[in-house]
Structure 1
Amino acid sequence: MNRTGSDTPTPARRKALVTGGATGIGRAAVLELARHGFDVALVYGSSATAAEATAAEARALGAQVLTLQCDVADDEAVRRTLAAVGEVFGHLDALVNNAGTTANWTMRDLESLDMAEWDRTFAVNVKGTFQVARAAVPWLKKSRQAGGSPAIVNTASIVGLRPGPQPLPYAASKAAVVNLTKTLAWNLGPHIRVNAVAPGWMEGEWMERMLGDRYDELMGNRARATPLKRCVTAEDVAEVMLNLITANRFVTGEVVVIDGGFTAST
C-alpha cells in the first residue's frame, strides 16, 4: 500500500472511501462526494497518474483527499488500507465499492475464456467487494455511534440482472454483487445501509473497449431505443450513489437500475 496526499482533516466534513476511484464511475463518485461536503479516501489499483489527477480535482472542490494504492483482492492489503484511512479520518460515513475488472473473450465462444481471467474477475469484483466492506464496517459503525447514517453503495451492472454482450465472468460476477448487496444489507442492518447501482450502457472508455469499432453505431442505437434518448454517463451514476448515501434513509438491500428506462421498455 502506498499513501500520498494526507493533510489536516476538516472535522465538519463527512468521510468516504471510494475504490476504483481514479477513473470512470469511481472518479465521478469522488468528485460528486467532494462537491457535497465529503473528504475522500481514493483507492486505486494501478492508475496512479489518473488517481492523482482526480485527487487534485477533488481538493480544488474543498476536500481532503487520501490516495491509496491497493489490490482489493488482497485481504491483507485491504486491511492495511482501511487501517490507514481510519487513522487519518477516524470514521467513515460512506463506502463506494466500485473497483472492478473484466476478462477478454470472443462472444459466444466459451473456449475463448481464460479461466485465470475468470478467477481474477471474481477475486476483484466479488471477493474484493466483500473484503473492503468487511474491513470498513468498524469505521462505518463509528459514524453510527456519532449519530450518522453510514451507507455502502456497490457497483453492479445491468448485465448482472439480464443478459448482455459483456464477458461471461464479468456478468456472473455482477450478478454475485447483486446477491452480496442484499445479503450484506441483511447482515449489517440496522446499523449500516447497503445498496447497489446497476448502470446500463455507459458512455466512455469501458464500453469503447467492449464494443470496439462499432461503439458509435451501437451506442447510438441504444440511445434511440431508450426513453430518455441517451446512454448513461458516469456522472449519472455518481448522482444516484450520492443520493443513496445522503438520503433514502429507509432504503437498503436494493439495486437501482440506471439506464434511462431502457430495461423498463424492452
Structure 2
Amino acid sequence: MAPRIVLITGTNSGVGFAASQVLATTPEYDFHVTMTGRSIDKVEASRMDIINSAKIPDVSSRLSTLHLDVTDPSSIRTAADAVANKWGHLDALVNNAAIGATSVDDDTYTRFTTCMQTNVTGPAVVEDAFRSLLLRAQTKPYSIFVSSGAGSFSRTADTTRQRGPEPPGDTSAYHVSKAALNMLALKEHIKYRDEIKVFAMTPGFVISNLRGTSEELRTGWGLAGDPVVAGETLLRILKGERDDDAGKLVSSDGIYPW
C-alpha cells in the first residue's frame, strides 16, 4: 500500500517537530511526512534529529523536507508544485507554522500585522495552494489548522477559569490571530465538508518557541507539557478516531468551545 502523504508547516521545533516525529516513527501506520519551514537547513537538521533518535528502521524513507515560508506566496506555490510533481496528491495538510511573541518594543501595528500575516493569511494561502492536491487523495483527506485555546471566545470570556502565565508584552495580537484562524478552519469545513475532514486543533500548553526562545519562556516557566502530546492528538485525527469532531476545535481529550 502506498504511504499517506502528510505535509506539515513549521517543523524545526515544538509542535511541528513533535508531530513529524510521532507520525514518522509509528510503524503500524505508513505515513510519509514532508517537513517544511522557512530555513531548509534547520528543517534538515530536525529531520536528522528524528532519524538519529528513532527506534525503528528506515525512518529516513518516511521523511522528506521542503522550503516553505508561509509569508511568501512564491515559496508556497513552489512547494505545492514540488509535492504535485513528486506525489501527485496530498493526504493530509497540517497548517502549524505560527508566530507568538513579538518584540515587547513593537508597536500595535507591527504586532498585529506580523501575527495576522503568519498565523492567518499564511495558512489561508497554504490551504488554497494545496487544496487541489488534497482533493486528489485516494482516501478522504485531512486538513488540520493548529490553533490554540487562546483563540476561543468562550474561554477568554470566562473570568473564573484558571489561566497560565503569559509572556511579557501585549499578547492580544496572538489571541486575535488564533480566533481568526478558528474561523478560517470553520469556513473551510463548511465549504468542503463532503470532500475534506477539516479540524482546528489546540496542542495545549506545551514547550514551544512561540512564547520566546529563552528556557523560561520555552518551557512556560516549567509548567508546559511535552509537545509529543500534540503529535499524538494529530495521529488520532489522521487515524480517523476524531472524525465525528470535524469542523470543531479539538484538544487531546475533548472539544474547546469557539
For the aligned pair, the TM-score class normalised by the smaller chain equals: 0.7 to 0.9
Cα distance in 1, alignment partners of residues 229 and 212 from structure 2:
18
2:131 to 134, 137, 154: 137
Indicate if the aligned counterparts of 1:201 and 1:219 stay in contact, CA closer than 8 A: no
Q: 1:131 to 1:104 in 2, by over 3 A?
A: same
Shift of residue 207, structure 1, vs aligned partner: 4.4
What residue identity is the alignment partner of 1:242? L
2:110 to 109, 113, 116: 116
Cα distance in 2, alignment partners of residues 210 and 126 from structure 1:
25
Shift of residue 213, structure 1, vs aligned partner: 7.3
Q: Which residue of 1 aligns with 2:54?
A: none
Q: Specify every segment of 5 or more residues in structure 2 that has no aligned partner in the other structure, as ranges.
A: 52-57, 157-162
Indicate if the aligned counterparts of 1:22 and 1:51 stay in contact, CA closer than 8 A: yes
Q: 1:212 to 1:32 in 2, by over 3 A?
A: closer
2:82 to 81, 84, 105: 84
Q: Which residue of 2 aligns with 1:15?
A: 5
What residue identity is the alignment partner of 2:46? T
Shift of residue 13, structure 1, vs aligned partner: 1.1
Indicate if the aligned counterparts of 1:37 and 1:63 stay in contact, CA closer than 8 A: no
The answer on 1:25 being equivalent to 2:50 is no
1:169 to 158, 173, 176: 173
Indicate if the aligned counterparts of 1:152 and 1:245 stay in contact, CA closer than 8 A: no
Q: Which residue of 1 aligns with 2:33?
A: 40
Shift of residue 43, structure 1, vs aligned partner: 1.2
Cα distance in 2, alignment partners of residues 189 and 214 from structure 1:
36
SS of residue matched to 1:43 = strand
Indicate if the aligned counterparts of 1:21 and 1:44 stay in contact, CA closer than 8 A: yes
Q: Which residue of 1 aligns with 2:66?
A: 68
Q: 1:241 to 1:178 in 2, by over 3 A?
A: same
Shift of residue 76, structure 1, vs aligned partner: 2.7
Cα distance in 1, alignment partners of residues 114 and 211 from structure 2:
20
Residues 219-263 of structure 1: per-residue CA shift (max 9 Å, x gap)? 44xxxxxxxxxx4321000111111122133431111134x79x9
Residues 67-113 of structure 1: per-residue CA shift (max 9 Å, x gap)? 1222212223212211111111111110110010124365xxxx963
The answer on 1:149 being equivalent to 2:140 is yes
Equivalent residue runs for 1:207-218 within 5 Å: 207=211, 209=213, 212=216, 218=221
Q: Specify every segment of 5 or more residues in structure 1 that has no aligned partner in the other structure, as ranges.
A: 1-10, 221-230
Cα distance in 2, alignment partners of residues 215 and 136 from structure 1:
33
Q: Which residue of 2 aligns with 1:125?
A: 119
What residue identity is the alignment partner of 1:169? A
1:233 to 200, 222, 226: 226
Q: Percentage identity across aligned positions? A: 27
What is the TM-score normalised by the length of structure 1?
Answer: 0.77
SS of residue matched to 2:143 = strand
* CA-based RMSD: 2.8
Q: 1:213 to 1:257 in 2, by over 3 A?
A: closer
The answer on 1:195 being equivalent to 2:186 is no
Indicate if the aligned counterparts of 2:100 and 2:210 stay in contact, CA closer than 8 A: no
Q: 1:213 to 1:64 in 2, by over 3 A?
A: closer
Q: Which residue of 2 aligns with 1:5?
A: none
Q: 1:17 to 1:112 in 2, by over 3 A?
A: closer
Cα distance in 2, alignment partners of residues 58 and 197 from structure 1:
23
Q: Which residue of 2 aligns with 1:180?
A: 184
Cα distance in 2, alignment partners of residues 58 and 85 from structure 1:
21
Q: Which residue of 2 aligns with 1:256?
A: 250
Q: 1:89 to 1:219 in 2, by over 3 A?
A: same
2:149 to 130, 154, 158: 158
Shift of residue 21, structure 1, vs aligned partner: 1.4
